[in-house]
């Protein structure tokens, strides 16, 4: 076993930024807006680095698909402890239509090329909320998957994953190689401090084109329209409990 873990990281609009829809309704405003690593991807990187620190795996490779700026996200992953990065260059129209299907094809090709033992991803991106890339990657590789992981442990040639599901927690044991997607409570990601960022500058980021991996980026989806969510209705104030009961009956809540 190569002992190599592939971690996918995505550059998204920072979680704290107020999103604005573009006037032409084709998307959201991204120019000049603060971007950072998807929070679930941070958790994925942290898990991979933790596994390396426990000496359960040997190398953490951070991958990101996108234009030049995606390298910043890879640098953050390197600062958190990844060993090297792979930047899959996708720009222009291809980047606008880049979705889980294309990314999972890229990740599957890379997982095979790098002989990865484990592919760890965030469960979903906070910009598109697809929650599909991990699952699709596993399907393309015909590997088992442990999604919504809140706990991951290596047990010989298998991985034990505790999954967060609607009814509570589910524990599964899957064979390596496998795909795992990180949920919120998997770990506490470390902060990429300035000294770590400086040290990470020495680490290598390889540049790859999707064509080199034999991946076709055509999208089967077309975004028709992007709208803002409906405005929240103002609340009503009532004077007494009877008023409250009356209002609730009026609006059909009870």
Partner 1 sequence: MANPLRAEVVRLYKNLLYLGREYPKGSVYFREHLKSAFMKNKDVTDPEKIKKLVARGDFVIKELEALYFLRKYRAMKKRYEPEK
Residue ranges binding partner 1 (CB under 8 A): 15-16, 39-40, 126, 184, 188-189, 191, 193-195, 197
Q: What angle do CA 184, 113, 183 make, to 5 degrees?
A: 5
Nearest CB to partner 1, comparing residues 194 and 241: 194
Which of residues 21 and 197 has its CB atom nearest to partner 1 in the complex? 197
**Nearest partner of 37 among 84, 61, 69, 4, judged by Cα:** 69
CB atoms near residue 156 (< 10 Å): 6
CA distances from 35 to 12, 92, 93, 161 (A): 5, 18, 19, 31
Cβ pair 50, 72 in contact under 8 A:
no
CB 7 within 8 A of CB 44: yes
Shortest Cβ 214–partner 1 spacing (Å): 35
In the bound state with partner 1, the residue whose beta carbon lies nearer, of 220 and 232, is: 232
Q: Given the complex with partner 1, which of 66 and 189 has the nearer CB atom?
A: 189
Of 194 and 254, nearer to partner 1 (C-beta) is: 194
Distance of CA 37 to the CA centre of its chain: 8
Cα–Cα distances in angstroms (integers) from residue 109 to residues 54, 102, 106, 210, 216, in the given order: 27, 11, 5, 9, 11
- Taking each helix axis as running N to C, give the angle between helix 100-113 and helix 133-141, from 0 to 180 degrees, rounded to the nearest 10: 50
Q: How far is the CB of 59 from partner 1 (least distance, A)?
A: 26
Shortest distance, position 194 Cβ to partner 1, whole Å: 4
Q: Which of 58, 43, 3, 53 is nearest to 176 (CA)?
A: 3
Output the smallest distance, CB 30 to partner 1, in A. 19
Smaller CB separation from partner 1, 233 or 240 = 233
CB of 16 to partner 1, least distance (A): 7
Question: In the bound complex, what is the minimum distance in angstroms from residue 174's beta carbon to partner 1?
Answer: 24
């Amino acid at each position: 076993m190569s002992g190599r873990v592939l971690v996918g990281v995505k550059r998204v609009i920072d979680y704290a930024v107020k999103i604005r829809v573009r006037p032409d309704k084709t998307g959201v405003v991204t120019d000049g807006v603060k971007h950072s690593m998807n929070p679930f991807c941070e958790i994925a990187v942290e898990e991979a680095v933790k596994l390396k620190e426990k000496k359960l795996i040997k190398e953490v490779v951070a991958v990101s698909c996108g234009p030049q700026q995606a390298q910043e996200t890879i640098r953050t992953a390197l600062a958190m402890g990844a060993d090297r990065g792979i930047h899959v260059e996708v720009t222009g129209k291809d980047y606008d239509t880049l979705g889980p299907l294309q990314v999972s094809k890229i990740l599957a090709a890379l997982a095979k090329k790098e002989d990865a033992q484990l592919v760890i991803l965030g469960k979903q991106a906070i910009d598109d909320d697809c929650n599909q890339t991990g699952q699709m990657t596993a399907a393309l590789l015909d590997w088992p998957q442990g999604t919504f992981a809140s706990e991951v442990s290596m047990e010989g040639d298998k991985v034990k994953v505790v999954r967060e599901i609607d009814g509570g927690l589910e524990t599964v044991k899957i064979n390596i190689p496998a795909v795992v997607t990180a949920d919120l409570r998997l770990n506490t990601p470390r902060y990429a401090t300035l000294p770590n960022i400086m040290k990470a500058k020495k680490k290598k980021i390889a540049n790859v084109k999707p064509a080199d991996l034999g991946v076709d980026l055509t999208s089967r989806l077309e975004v028709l329209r992007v709208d803002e969510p409906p405005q929240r209705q103002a609340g009503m104030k009532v004077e007494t409990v009877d008023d409250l009961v009356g209002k609730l009956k009026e609006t059909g809540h009870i």
